[in-house]
């Protein structure tokens, strides 16, 4: 009896030990799986968080870029609101644009005063076209001045390379005077001029053809007095440009009217008068036209 009882107790003990071992193994596996699943869950949560944060960060940037592109595109593709009458050189509104405008233009730039004139225009929030001569941009100083004026936002026009009287030179030289200057200007500022003015306002049939082939608008002017000896004085010039009258050269009636294309030059007396001229024209209700809003051939 005792042997049988001892044997049964040993069997029960062994079964209990085995059961305990199996239970521990099962719990260990279960814990291991739980930790692995938790790590996966945390990793996924972190990844999802990073993805969400990234998406949220990129979204405004994308919207901002889109707005900038729209604005840039809007500025670049803005429709012209004025055109130049080739016969009269006056600036005319397209549709319902403001009629009380005048266009300021500065020839023979950049000689000695073009940069100062550009600064005055910028201070007065006025625009102008600077018509350039090639012999003024052969050296580094002239090229730097041209680039600065362009970077200030002023359109650059072609006034021929060496300022000849166009009809008095051969056709091949006419072509060279115009095209070589366009090439030179493009080399310096990265753009070819969109406006052309012949020295002395003298064109030929051939020069007109070249200007058209080069995609430029040809323009002269409606009035300007600073190249007359009688008006090579800042005070006299100021009065003449503001009134449109120049009695000392027998212009006893006003040439100032809506659409006037006013000729000035890179000269000391014009530089001194410029700020007052802008103020005087505005006092009479005129707006300085933005040349970038003029219809071009391109």
Residue 49, pLDDT above cutoff 50? no
Global confidence as pTM: 0.75
Q: Alpha-carbon distance 79 to 94, whole Å?
A: 10
Question: pLDDT tens digits, residue range 214-224?
Answer: 999 999 999 99
Summarize the confidence of residues 3-27 as an average pLDDT: 43
Q: Where are the beta strands (DSSP E) in 3-121?
A: 82-84, 91-93, 101-109
C-alpha distances in Å from residue 174, one per residue of 149, 205, 235 = 26, 11, 37
Give the single-character DSSP code of 165. -
Instruction: Return mean pLDDT, the chain.
Output: 82
Site of tokens 């002395």 = 200
Per-residue pLDDT, 288: 97
The pLDDT value recorded for residue 119 is 98
What value does the mean pLDDT take over residues 141-154? 98
Average pLDDT estimate for 63-89 = 64
pLDDT tens sequence across 174-208: 999 999 999 999 999 999 999 999 999 999 999 99
**Residues 155, 128: Cα–Cα separation, whole Å:** 7
What per-residue confidence (pLDDT) applies to 257?
97
For residue 143, pLDDT beyond 80: yes
Q: Is residue 13 over pLDDT 50?
A: no
Helix (H, G, I), strand (E, B) or coil at 94: coil
Say how far apart CA 219 and CA 263 lie, in whole Å: 11
Q: Work out the average pLDDT over 97-109.
A: 96
CATH number belonging to domain 82-293 = 3.20.20.370
* Distance (Å, whole) CA 127 – CA 125: 7
Range 91-112 average pLDDT: 95
Per residue in 120-132, pLDDT (tens digit) is 999 999 999 999 9
Q: pLDDT at position 96, please? A: 86
Q: How confident is the model at residue 11 (pLDDT cuts 50, 70, 90)?
A: very low
Q: Can you tell me the mean pLDDT for 237-266?
A: 98
Domain positions in the chain = 1-77, 82-293
Burial of 96 per CB tally in 10 Å (0-12, 13-18, 19+): exposed
């Amino acid at each position: 009896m005792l042997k049988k009882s001892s044997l049964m107790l040993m069997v029960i003990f062994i079964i209990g030990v085995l059961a305990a071992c199996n239970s521990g193994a099962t719990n260990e596996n279960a814990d291991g799986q739980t930790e692995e699943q938790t790590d996966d869950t945390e990793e996924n949560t972190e990844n999802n968080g990073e993805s969400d944060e990234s998406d949220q960060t990129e979204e405004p940037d994308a919207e901002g870029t889109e707005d900038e592109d729209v604005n840039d595109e809007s500025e670049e593709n803005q429709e012209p609101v004025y055109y130049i009458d080739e016969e009269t050189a006056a600036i005319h509104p397209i549709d319902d644009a403001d009629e009380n405008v005048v266009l300021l233009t500065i020839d023979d730039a950049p000689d000695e005063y073009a940069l100062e004139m550009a600064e005055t225009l910028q201070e007065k929030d006025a625009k102008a076209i600077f018509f350039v001569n090639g012999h003024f941009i052969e050296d580094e100083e002239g090229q730097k001045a041209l680039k600065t004026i362009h970077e200030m936002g002023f359109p650059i026009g072609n006034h021929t390379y060496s300022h000849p009287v166009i009809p008095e030179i051969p056709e091949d030289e006419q072509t060279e005077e115009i095209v070589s200057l366009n090439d030179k200007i493009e080399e310096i500022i990265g753009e070819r001029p969109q406006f052309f003015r012949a020295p002395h306002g003298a064109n030929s049939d051939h020069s007109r053809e070249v200007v058209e082939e080069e995609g430029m608008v040809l323009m002269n002017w409606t009035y300007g007095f600073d190249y007359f000896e009688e008006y090579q004085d800042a005070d006299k010039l100021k009065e003449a440009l503001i009134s449109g009258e120049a009695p000392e050269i027998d212009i006893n009636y006003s040439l100032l009217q809506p659409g006037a294309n006013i000729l000035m030059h890179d000269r000391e007396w014009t530089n001194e008068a410029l700020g007052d001229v802008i103020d005087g024209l505005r006092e009479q209700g005129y707006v300085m036209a933005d040349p970038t809003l003029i219809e071009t051939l391109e």
